Amino acid sequence: MGVDYSKLHDPNAEYTMRELSGETMGVVGKRGGGRDVEITDVQTTMVDGNFPWTLVRVYTDAGIVGTGEAYWGAGAPELIERMTPFLRGENPLDIDRLTEHLVQKMSGEGSLGGVTVTAISGIEVALHDLAGKILDVPAYQLLGGKYRDEVRVYCDCHTEEEADPVACADEAERVVEELGYDALKFDLDVPSGHEKDRANRHLRAPEIEHKASIVEAVTERVGSRADVAFDCHWTFSGGSAKRLAQRLEEYDVWWLEDPVPPENHDVQREVTQSTSTPITVGENVYRKHGQRSLIEEQAVDIIAPDMPKVGGMRETRKIADLADMYYVPVAMHNVASPVATMGSAHVGAAISNSLAVEYHSYELDWWEDLVEEDVIEDGYIEIPEEPGLGVTLDMDAVEEHMVDGEELFDEE
């Protein structure tokens, strides 16, 4: 028998001056129109995709279930189990209060960032699906309505010969011509054969030239048929990142992503302001507080929060509103299953400054099988008008692809 994480002792959670439960806050009034609903349980199931996705379900006494997803990885299911007692008996329509309630309750376990925020995000996405079903409206309506009927998707591309410029260009052309995408991303933190020391973050001139050759090959091959971004995965020193970004200025680069490690925003600002190559950052920064200095200090040209990691749908909306004050567009990082991908699309429909949502699973032929609906078509996601997120889990597909040793959550 495993650990019952819902019963772990935590003095910080058991006593907090900023207690935001409905009972403590006096939010106990009866609600009309079928809105007097209580949460009865929260469950998770981890699916073994190209990432181990944590799917989340929130159950109610009305028999209505909301489905969400936390950013992939270990720890989220245990933390969600830990938080379940804080949600039982609550009205799921109070999404903002409940999210902040969990942040306060989990402060001792790290709700400023990391997997605790990720776990809260998964619950928050499920609450949007659930609230939409209770109110009979699509999730984007809960975020303020629509700016667009469909959201652009950029395809994260890979090839077995990831360091070969010609192979990358070939794959770019295939994805554009055969799969119908007009927005792509390739990795630049790939071995060049010129490395002397892979620990010191320094790029030698031959390494920079190798990366430039990938950029040149891909951008020239697709031309005006697609926008192309390039990802560095937080790999390089400040000086190396500046030299790389400046070297790429002659090419049509949509953006250069995460060229330096995410911790030091001062260095990030210097890199961004040193070049005309657009710089994108944000997937490894948590909640609006973490994104604030990047935006306010103009350390990014494009902000890239990961919705089921950063704090959820409303938190991403808040980040987008802050970014809009500085005229910064939002390109949501996304490595999720169809559930959180559609959640990101709803956010993208509801914010004015949406640029695109990432798709990272084009090599996984059963990705879309997890839900009953079609999700991506010709490089775009049409925003559903069905209540909630507008996607329905195929429970047989979920069960087929579960992580070894996992249990399937209840269907109802």
pLDDT digits (tens, 9 = 90+) for 201-238: 999 999 999 999 999 999 999 999 999 999 999 999 99
Q: How many CB atoms lie within 10 A of CB 48?
A: 13
Q: Cα 399–62–84 angle (5° rounding)?
A: 60
Concatenating the DSSP letter of every residue in 114-171 gives THHHHHHHHHHHHHHHHHHHHHTSBHHHHTT--S-SEEEEEEE---TTTT-HHHHHHH
What's the confidence (pLDDT) of residue 245?
98
Residue 67: closest CA among 141, 144, 7, 123? 123
What's the confidence (pLDDT) of residue 2?
80
Q: How far apart, in whole angstroms, are the C-alpha atoms of residue 379 and residue 357? A: 10
What's the confidence (pLDDT) of residue 11?
80
Whether 157 and 184 have beta carbons less than 8 Å apart is answered as yes
Whether 4 and 73 have beta carbons less than 8 Å apart is answered as no
* Region 396-410 average pLDDT: 96
Q: How far apart, in whole angstroms, are the C-alpha atoms of residue 249 and residue 148? A: 31
Concatenating the DSSP letter of every residue in 309-366 gives HHT-HHHHHHHHHHHHHTT--EEEB----HHHHHHHHHHHHH-TTEEEEEE--TT-TT
pLDDT digits (tens, 9 = 90+) for 343-372: 999 999 999 999 999 999 999 999 999 999
pLDDT digits (tens, 9 = 90+) for 116-153: 999 999 999 999 999 999 999 999 999 999 999 999 99
* Region 251-275 average pLDDT: 97
Q: Is the pLDDT of residue 182 over 80?
A: yes
* Contacts of residue 344, Cβ cutoff 8 Å, sequence gap at least 6: 151, 307, 308, 316, 332, 334, 336, 357
What's the confidence (pLDDT) of residue 10?
79
| Local confidence band at 189 (pLDDT 50, 70, 90 cut-offs) | very high
Q: Under CATH, what is the fold of the domain 5-137? A: Enolase-like; domain 1 (3.30.390)
- Residue range 143-386 forms a domain whose CATH class is alpha beta
What's the confidence (pLDDT) of residue 1?
54
| Local confidence band at 7 (pLDDT 50, 70, 90 cut-offs) | confident
pTM, entire model: 0.96
- Every domain of the chain and the residues it spans: 5-137, 143-386
What's the confidence (pLDDT) of residue 117?
97
